[in-house]
Amino acid sequence: MKNLKYIIFVSLSLISNCLHAQKVHLHADNLIASNVFLSHEKLEGRKVLKVLVDTTIKTFDEPTFAKIKDIDFENGVIEVKVLSRIVKNAPDWARGFIGVAFRIDENNTKFESIYIRPTNGRAEDQIRRNHSIQYFAFPDYKFERLRKESPEKYESYADMGLNEWITIKIVVQGSNARLFIGKNKQPALIVNDLKLGQHNSGSIGLWVGNWTEGYFRDLKIIKQ
């Protein structure tokens, strides 16, 4: 019954997305920078938000995001277009990490996140391709722990690349989350056990990882 309710919610959310989505304007007075630098630029003739991680951040899967003000999100749909580039002089392990953090607490000490690694999507190595998408929960369930304890469970593949706009949609219900890429009707990643539990709520953040120059536009939110 629980799974049925989730499937119904996902279906209704996807159908009603264009009708009931709240468009969030990504202007300066609507954002709080957490370990990142924010700026607005024109890309392909459109005004977009640029997010760049503070270079003092050396560890992975940290609270590095542009946090949306006055949002209390527990269940619903988050959709945004993202584009990532790798900064100059980046190490060879840089992947263009970019995604969304959600259910962020007031002090940025706990949150869930799903992000993509665009360089992996078309790599000639299958293992790298299998690591194109990543879920993690801050602070205790970063990618290294999840990959070690539950290999392949919280990562998956999708076609993607650097320097191209990618639509990501995250559907959240209770302890479940599903990530959709582009116009695909099937999720690219399914998480059935969000590590922070099913009754948490909080803000939403536009997340970038180390050595990434991230761009965001067209943020839409549906709250259940």
pLDDT of residue 62: 98
Tell me: the pLDDT tens digits for 8-29?
Answer: 445 544 444 444 689 999 999 9
On the question of pLDDT at 185 being above 90, the answer is: yes
Tokens of 140: 């205790």
pLDDT digits (tens, 9 = 90+) for 53-83: 999 999 999 999 999 999 999 999 999 999 9
Topology annotation, domain 2-223: Jelly Rolls (2.60.120)
Residue with the bigger pLDDT between 224 and 180: it is 180
Q: What angle do CA 181, 194, 144 make, to 5 degrees?
A: 80
Q: Exposed, middle or buried, 59 (CB in 10 Å: 0-12/13-18/19+)?
A: exposed
Confidence (pTM)? 0.91
| Per-residue pLDDT, 78 | 98
Q: What is the pLDDT of residue 21?
A: 83
**How far apart are alpha carbons 31 and 167 in whole angstroms?**
21
Domain residues of the chain, as ranges? Answer: 2-223
- Specify which residues 79 forms β-bridges with: 169, 220
Q: What is the mean pLDDT of residues 151-171?
A: 98
Round to whole Å and give the CA distance between 167 and 151. Answer: 26
**Reported confidence tier of residue 199, pLDDT bands at 50, 70, 90:** confident
